[in-house]
Chains A and B, each alone.
Chain A
Amino acid sequence: MLTRGIGVAGLAAIAACASTSAPPRRQVLVVIDTDALSPEDVARDPELSGALTVDSVRVDVLDEKDGVRVFREFSAVSRLDWPFSFELRPPERGELLPTTLRVRAFRARDAQAALEGTQPTLAPMPELALDRVVVIPAPAPEEVIRLRIDLNAECMGTPTSFRDRTSCVDGEHPMLPFAAALPRVGVGAETTSRVGTTALGRAVPCARPAAPGRVCIPGGLSVLGSAQLAGTEDGIVSLSPLPMRLVRVAPFLMDETELTVGAARPLLAGLHSEQPVQRSGAGLEASKYCTLESAPLADLLPLNCVGDATARELCALRGGTLPTEAQWNHAATGRGEGRRYPWGDRNNGCCNVSAGRLNSFFANQRLCQGEGVEPVGSHLPSSTCQGQGDVSRDGVVDLGGSLAEVLSDNARPLDDACWGPRFGILVDPTCVVPGSISIATRGGDWAAGTFNAAAAQRGAGVRSVGRGVRCVYRGAAE
């Protein structure tokens, strides 16, 4: 599939490559810079979150009705591409009038191919773009105006308000009028850049060492949602992965494996909530796949057939909580790496993940060998699977398959009011809607196909043979 590259659109008003040595004449030179990350920054330092990268800039000249009169796209994939500058030129035989410019920086792979008039272009998602609108004054005769527009990473995901005629400038000035004065700069100001200097993208280490069986998930920025999975949801047990939201998560500790029957057994006597369903051949047909039974052979199996309240209580008894959807997503997508699966981008099938282990409804056959729930850690990286297994960037096991996992959030759309502000960076978001009984889950399970292990796939579920428990614990300083 082709995502259109950044190209030069037919445009008279913006001319690239303004000369710095031309004789003085009536001229407007615009310099654009950012402190967000370039892909090169992330390639050099993996502790920087890829969620904060920008590699493309679109500059629109707006008309009186805020329509796009002309636009131009710039590719800025390297640190050396910043800052960049262009000259505003009047239309042929026209005058340079005050000009409204909209400047958006974004990552091409998250943007959507679109048409502006008849011109193909990339339309950035407002939740993942730096978006600034400014009014450039008209120069006096013989005047040379040199202006600098800084796109600040703190504004990521805060779109321009055309109703209020304001756009985000930085963290201290979340919304300033279009007409707010821009800093003027001297000759040569376009040579120094702030690209890559934001502290927002840096991973935050855990403040305490992880106890055995727990894994530190450093804090930082990640993307909740996925354009790659859009359109694959059924709206009932899988939820839309759009819109994509930028999320900041504090460091936390996560259980390395799903809660096993062996680890849960000593906690069961202390439960106030209903007990997990026992494995049996009788009653519910499904309960033959429930893992709780007295035989010690079951101790290494992940506990399933657990109700929502029971799951919550089991984590509390372990000194932790159920993960939020943002935490689970942060761990499974490799934090800012945006991995397709917890282990990476390639799916090697049945060897890779505990999945496809139930006879299909339509045909008496399974996708993968074996039937039912497997012991935790049955799909560690192996040479028979080209070195792959169901292990996350930070070492968490079976996030992709085995059992889907109960979360502390309700299953709601990503633009629901429960998440907090509709735009901007969500900080440790939780989505709890009083009275809602739909509980979010994440992760594929042993019965579903291997592609349900996609890290960004959003689910909803109830007590079942395919759902289990994994707890998280504080990782930040008290």
Chain B
Amino acid sequence: MRCRNRVALLVALTSSLVIAAGSMSCGGATADARAQWVIEVSTDAPVPQLGDRLLVELVAPDGTTPCPGCRRLFGMSGPSAWPLSFGVPDPSGAELRLRVRLFRADHSDVGGAPTGALAIDAIGALPATAGGVRRVSVMLYAICTGVAADPIHSLTCDPQTGALVARPLDDTVKSALVPGSFTLAQATPCAHAPREGMACIEGGLFARGDSVRVIDEEITTQAIPERLVRLSPFALDRDELTVGVMRALVAAGRVERPRIRSGSSPACTYTEQAGELEEHPVNCITRDAAKRACAARGLRLPTEAEWEFAAGDRDRENRYPWGADPDPCRYAIVGRGRTDGEGALDPSSVCRAVPGAAPLAWGPRPERESDDTTALGLRHMGGNVSEWVADEVASYGGHCSDGPRVLVDPRCDVAEERGVLVRGGSWSAQPFFAETTHRGMYGDDIDSPFVGVRCAESL
């Protein structure tokens, strides 16, 4: 969309090549008759979700970029920026390849090159121009996301098989790919309305994990590498399972009673008799008990992927359930930990009350008190209590993430190591546990005062 002087940009530097700016921008095609390729780049990926930067390089057969002008970055704002067309003068005779990569700005280094695993990467040999204008089309397939091209052997991901193959650049006129047309990226509505108290999460595509903030010490629970995940529609409780709902299940004989609040368990919320904590999230239940509580309601535990997709507001992939504001203490019930049970807040707690305001309360809070709310109205995904999920412990690079490039409804049933996963922060957790991509782990299936449950249902 930027206005450029076309003449100036199409002038090649002395004895080198220049990838010129798009002739699409302002004022139609150029009439330059010199030997050149006119290259059109298109994609079926949802943009800018999967990429807002395009790096175009001319590559010599040894894999190097032969000149400074042979490398060009384009900012690709969104669907309207596609397809991209530009001209490349033919240096007469030199054998050249064209490499094109689509990626996200936050996955790039200071020189603008992609650093993450999520790029779409294509390379191919440029056909001879024979002194004229040769049209070339480069197609970036979303299904090939994360499959790096091989610049030495000029191999690119085959969208049919995912294998690296020599894929000639198309020089026949084909219709360009349409951004967002990738089948697995289409939103799938819920088949019917969710039951009361639950939100419908439409099916869709997102990048699971976070390669920008790698801050977890446990190798297994690091949220890397990022992978594309496709989820079917499902429903998720708007609130963490409350003491009141749990009490009804216990009264009906459907589940056993959780650990009772007492002098030695002051942060547990379930009381002998119904009292003031009925709207608090129930905690001090094992994952096993949480599973039974969900099953008693005809529901199940959400998978990690479902949890993350819902917390980040689906393909928006928000860093926090409430959006982008990096101040968890302001929104979520986190950073208020203390373990001696006296009720007052430990001065070393990470979150502090705003000067002049009431002191921060210790322990979980009622579900309805929430600034930690997603756009779909899910409350306390960031904090209050962490939540058990259905998956067994496995790294994102491990056996449960093998297989096709886009993981479809992943759930890991075979543990890689001992431990039990939770998602979301808790009242005692460090504030960064509120990040939607953060993965937490307990050594055993314990009834912790920091963990509760939120149930899900396939729709």
Contacts and interface: CB of A to CB of B under 8 A. Distances in A.
A374 interface: no
A40 B112 contact: yes
A39 interface: yes
Interface in A69-83: 73-78, 80-81
Nearest to A2: B317
A349 B224 CA distance: 14
B182 interface: no
Contact of A450 (B3, B49, B68, B217): B217
Interface in B1-57: 1-5, 8-9, 20-21, 25-27, 47-49, 52-53
Contact of A232 (B48, B68, B215): B215
A44 B68 contact: yes
Given A5-B77, A50-B110, A73-B77, A230 B326 contact: yes
A43 B105 contact: no
Contact of B110 (A1, A53, A115, A229): A53
Nearest to A82: B2
A109 B74 CA distance: 16
B214 A80 contact: no
Contacts of B216: 451
A390 B458 CA distance: 47
Contacts of A84: 2-4
Contact of B104 (A2, A74, A76, A232): A2
Given A16-B2, A40-B112, A80-B4, A6 B106 contact: no
A6 B431 CA distance: 29
Contacts, number: 169
Contact of B210 (A1, A74, A113): A1
Given A40-B73, A231-B431, A1 B213 contact: yes
A76 B75 contact: yes
Contacts of A114: 324
A371 B47 CA distance: 49
Interface in B323-354: 323-324, 326, 328, 348, 350
B71 interface: yes
Contact of A451 (B25, B106, B214): B214
A235 interface: yes
B397 to A, nearest CB: 12
A475 interface: no
B326 A6 contact: no
A228 B211 CA distance: 10
A77 B21 CA distance: 12
Interface in A1-29: 1-8, 16-19
Given A2-B316, A108-B105, A232-B430, A39 B110 contact: yes
Contact of A78 (B8, B72, B217, B315): B72
B350 A235 contact: yes
Contacts of A85: 2-3
B236 interface: no
Contact of A74 (B2, B4, B432): B2
Contacts of A1: 106, 207, 210, 212-213, 317, 319, 437
B77 A75 contact: yes
B110 A347 contact: no
Nearest to B20: A80
Given A5-B52, A8-B78, A232-B215, A43 B112 contact: yes
Interface string A344-387: 01010100000000000001000100000000000000000000
A40 B69 CA distance: 10
Nearest to B26: A17
A165 B348 CA distance: 42
A47 interface: no
A142 interface: no
Nearest to B76: A5
B113 interface: yes
Nearest to A85: B3
Interface string B97-132: 000000011101111110100000000000000000
Contacts of A228: 212-213
B148 to A, nearest CB: 15
B21 A80 contact: yes
B12 to A, nearest CB: 13
Given A5-B75, A86-B3, A77 B317 contact: no
A4 B313 CA distance: 14
B378 to A, nearest CB: 18
A39 B324 contact: no
A80 B52 contact: no
A61 B277 CA distance: 50
Q: Interface range on chain A: under 10, 10 to 19, 20 to 34, or 35 or more? A: 35 or more
B3 A16 contact: yes
Interface string A412-451: 0000000000000000000000000000000000000111
A23 B17 CA distance: 36
A345 B53 contact: no
B311 to A, nearest CB: 12
B3 A191 contact: no
B163 interface: no
B219 interface: yes
Nearest to B215: A232
A338 interface: yes
A42 B110 contact: yes
A38 to B, nearest CB: 8
A190 B110 contact: no
B80 interface: yes
Contacts of B323: 113, 115
Contact of B73 (A2, A5, A78, A113): A78
Given A2-B317, A108-B105, A338-B110, A75 B52 contact: yes
Contacts of B109: 50, 337, 345
A17 B110 contact: no
A295 interface: no
A350 to B, nearest CB: 9
A368 to B, nearest CB: 11
Nearest to B216: A451
Interface string A173-189: 00000000000000010
A229 B213 CA distance: 7
A123 to B, nearest CB: 9
Interface in A28-74: 38-40, 42-44, 50, 53, 55-56, 73-74
Contact of B77 (A8, A229, A336): A8
A197 interface: no
A294 interface: no
B3 A39 contact: no
A275 interface: no
A81 B74 CA distance: 9
Contacts of B48: 4-5, 7
Interface of A: 1-8, 16-19, 38-40, 42-44, 50, 53, 55-56, 73-78, 80-81, 84-86, 108-109, 112-115, 188, 190-191, 228-232, 234-236, 336-338, 340, 345, 347, 349, 363, 367, 449-451
Given A40-B111, A43-B71, A75-B52, 17 more contacts: A1-B210, A2-B104, A3-B104, A5-B75, A6-B77, A7-B77, A8-B78, A17-B2, A40-B112, A42-B110, A50-B109, A56-B75, A81-B75, A190-B5, A191-B5, A232-B215, A234-B350
- Closest A-B pairs by Cβ, 7 of them: A75-B75, A5-B52, A50-B110, A39-B112, A43-B111, A5-B48, A113-B324
7 contacts: A2-B104, A5-B75, A5-B77, A16-B26, A42-B110, A43-B111, A85-B2
